[in-house]
Structure 1
Amino acid sequence: MSHLTTIKVRGYHLDLYGHVNNARYLEFLEEARWGMLEEGGGVEWFTERSLALVISRIDIRYKRSATMGDVLEVKTALAQLNERDGLIRQQVLRQDNGKLVAEADVTFAVIHPEQAGAQLLQGELGERLALMQEVAKNV
């Protein structure tokens, strides 16, 4: 099951043309990823182990504009796990009509401050992430 985050478009989200500024979508997507992690109890688990999820790439595709007062739903799901990175898929949809506003593929890795490079996504860490991925497949 994908995680769902609801965001209402406010005036400070807008550009001079009255549309949500493109950079604000990155903030919406980040808010939704944090929500997914919090809902799954992941923030505490990662913090206890001094692990951090870091973003290495975001491929965002804008489909249509959102404007003042629109209510957006951000669907977030862990789509893929590789040896040292993973992929989170996100969609931003208008709540009133379900139309796709933007979509993104977000590549992440897990790091530890006392170890160089990305962690291997196996063992306890891999199992923890795989649980998130299994939940996403049940959508």
Structure 2
Amino acid sequence: MDRRTTRTSLRVRGYHLDGYGHVNNARYLEFLEEGRWAYFDDRPELSRRLQRGDVAFVAVNINIDYCAAAVAGDDLEIDSRICALGRRSARMAQQIHRQGDGALVSRATITFVLLDVAANRAIPIEDELRDLLAALVIE
């Protein structure tokens, strides 16, 4: 696996399920968020910059394709990578696969902006943060 990608594992639990016995669609947002947190945890230089508190990545658009059902007891892997870096936004691509058979369960693209926390507005992605992100892009 490319060092610019992070793989996160989790097990589907009963509380993730809907009335049909498979993972509720809204739970995938939580699974994907877990993958994004792990992505930043794996990159201390990026995490340190974001933990200063003056800027934050904020999701502004999420597109999810549901490809196969996941059920209680399934072990899932979430692969996360930065797939595009623009002047004012970045995109992360994520895929969820079932361990064992490798079935693609879901794929998503999340668009982020960089938020100036004090001003509460989006700002350009520049300087040190841009350099850190640019080195991570896998198109």
Shared topology, TM-score over 0.5? yes
Q: TM-score, normalised by structure 1?
A: 0.91
Structure 2 unaligned spans of 5+: none
Answer 1 or 2: which has greater strand percent: 2
The count of aligned residue pairs is: 135
Deviation at 1:132, TM superposition (A): 2.5
Q: Distance in 2 between matches of 1:18 and 1:97?
A: 19
Q: Distance in 2 between matches of 1:12 and 1:116?
A: 35
Maintained 8 Å contact 1:78/1:89: yes
CA RMSD in angstroms, aligned pairs only: 1.3
Q: Distance in 2 between matches of 1:102 and 1:39?
A: 22
Maintained 8 Å contact 1:29/1:74: yes
Q: TM-score, normalised by structure 2?
A: 0.91
Deviation at 1:131, TM superposition (A): 2.5
Moved over 4 A (4+): none
Maintained 8 Å contact 2:49/2:129: no
Match of residue 130 from structure 2: 126
Query: How many percent of aligned residue pairs carry the same amino acid?
Result: 39
Maintained 8 Å contact 1:40/1:132: no
Paired residue secondary structure (2:36) = helix
Maintained 8 Å contact 1:75/1:91: yes
Deviation at 1:115, TM superposition (A): 3.1
